[in-house]
Amino acid sequence: MEYIFHILILLSIYGILALAQNLVMGGTGLLTIAGAAFYGIGAYVAAILATKFGWSIMAILLIAPIIAGLIAFLVGASFARFRDDYFMLATLGFLMIFNTVAKNWETFTNGSFGIAGIPKPYILGFTLDMPMTFVVLAIFILIIVVTVSYLISRSSFGRALNAIREDEDALQIFGYQTSRYKLMIFTIGAAFSALGGVLFASYITFVDPNLFTVNESILLWAMVILGGIGRNRGALIGALFLVIIPEILRFIGFPTEFAGLMRQCIYGLLLVLLMLYQPRGILGTYKL
């Protein structure tokens, strides 16, 4: 039972991250690799504020998205001049910078040792220290993110984002200052990712720089592409698959010496098969 709740918590966290990634990448066509960076910023803000300044996780859940959003706003404003592949490289650069700072700013981040002992959330006299209780908070945050994501994609704003993905130059001719739209969704996506980061830090109670590398960003890409680009439901399905598949492979019972390797192989094979036979993802509506 514990284990099921554990998986549900992971699902909620990755669901949040995949939704954020989908809004920016699937909905707007901005190929960002900075997903893991804002996830990491959320996690590190939680770790630092909670262990060094004694903030409660609930307060951090409110403040971390604002901090991440602010950083995304500043970074995004300078990225606005880049398009497509160049935007991708710029966000990759940002992820590298974040990683380097996390590794080297030892006074705050403890460098490669990471920060341990992050407290569990405490609310109305309860400490959510069991997966069974933590899952309630995780799902609650997921529901908020799902709701907002749906509101965004169904609004005029969401329609304009899709048009940016389709043909940004043509949309500008019709009176849209597209850079503002892109900056706004980049900021919102970062704020959502940070929520996932806070949940993760508080649940695992430990963060270190290696958790937030380009691998993590690519995992988010895989979730969005696998589920179906540009669809909120697709992002959730992608997260479901990519969280559950490794867990199922755990039960197949490979000899321990190459269990990990086999898992990676099967995981890779599944992705290749999907690319071959269902290149638009499981829901399959749009392509980039």
Partner 1 sequence: MKYILETKNLVKSFGGVHAVDHLSINIPEKMITGLVGPNGSGKTTLINMLSGFSPHNSGEIFFSDVERKKIMPWENQVYGITRTFQQVRLFDQMSVLDNILVILTERAPFYALFERHSGYHLKCAEDILKKIDLYEKRFHNAADLSYGQRKLLEIGRVLAMDANIILFDEPFAGLFPEVIKKIEKIVLNLKQEGKSVVLVEHNMAIIRKLCDHLIVMDAGKLLAEGHPEKVLSEKIVLEAYLGE
- Residues lying near partner 1 in the complex (CB under 8 A) are found at 152, 154-157, 159-160, 162-163, 165-167, 169-178, 180-181, 184, 230, 285-287
- C-alpha gyration radius of the chain: 19
Q: How near is the Cβ of 152 to partner 1 at its closest, in Å?
A: 7
Q: Is 242 exposed, middle or buried (0-12, 13-18, 19+ CB in 10 A)?
A: buried
Q: How near is the Cβ of 154 to partner 1 at its closest, in Å?
A: 6
- 186/203 with CB nearer partner 1: 186
Q: Show the DSSP H helices in 205-258 as ranges.
A: 214-227, 232-252
Q: How near is the Cβ of 194 to partner 1 at its closest, in Å?
A: 19
- 70/273 with CB nearer partner 1: 70
Q: CA 48 to CA 45: how far, in whole Å?
A: 5
- 179/213 with CB nearer partner 1: 179
Instruction: Please say whether the beta carbons of 19 and 195 come within 8 A.
Output: no
Q: How near is the Cβ of 217 to partner 1 at its closest, in Å?
A: 24
* Tokens read off for 76: 């995004």
Number of C-beta neighbours around residue 184 at 10 A = 18
- 200/286 with CB nearer partner 1: 286
| Strands 126-127 vs 122-123: parallel, antiparallel or unpaired | antiparallel
Q: How near is the Cβ of 159 to partner 1 at its closest, in Å?
A: 5
- 137/283 with CB nearer partner 1: 283
